[in-house]
């Protein structure tokens, strides 16, 4: 389970200018893999192709884990 501080930090990291920081944030949500993580990630839009592809894979994996797909 994530702590509120971790979620806040990860949400902030999604807005960072460096792709590697955004990737780390997505990884955190991927590890937590809960409904809150999916809700946050569903509202993220990324312009970097590889990072956007990774985001889509993570969202799909979380949906599957939560039996939503």
In this prediction the pTM is 0.90
Where would I find the H helices in the chain?
Answer: 4-13, 19-32, 35-42, 49-65
Reference 63, options 43, 40, 33; nearest CA is 33
Residue 61: what pLDDT?
97
**Residue pLDDT, tens place only, 9-30:** 999 999 999 999 999 999 999 9
Q: Is the pLDDT of residue 4 over 70?
A: no
Pick the closest to residue 14 from 3, 35, 66, 37 (CA basis).
37
Q: What is the pLDDT of residue 48?
A: 96
Average pLDDT over residues 28-54: 97
Where does residue 3 fall: left (phi above 0), alpha (psi -120 to 50 degrees), or beta otherwise?
Answer: beta
For residue 27, give both structure tokens. Answer: 């990884």
Residue 1 has what pLDDT? 55
């Amino acid at each position: 389970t994530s702590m509120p501080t971790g979620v806040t930090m990860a949400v902030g990291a999604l807005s960072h200018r460096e792709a590697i920081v955004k990737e780390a944030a997505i990884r955190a949500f991927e590890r937590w893999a809960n409904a809150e993580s999916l809700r946050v990630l569903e509202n993220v839009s990324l312009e970097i192709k590889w990072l956007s592809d990774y985001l889509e894979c993570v969202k799909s994996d979380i949906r599957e884990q939560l039996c939503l797909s």
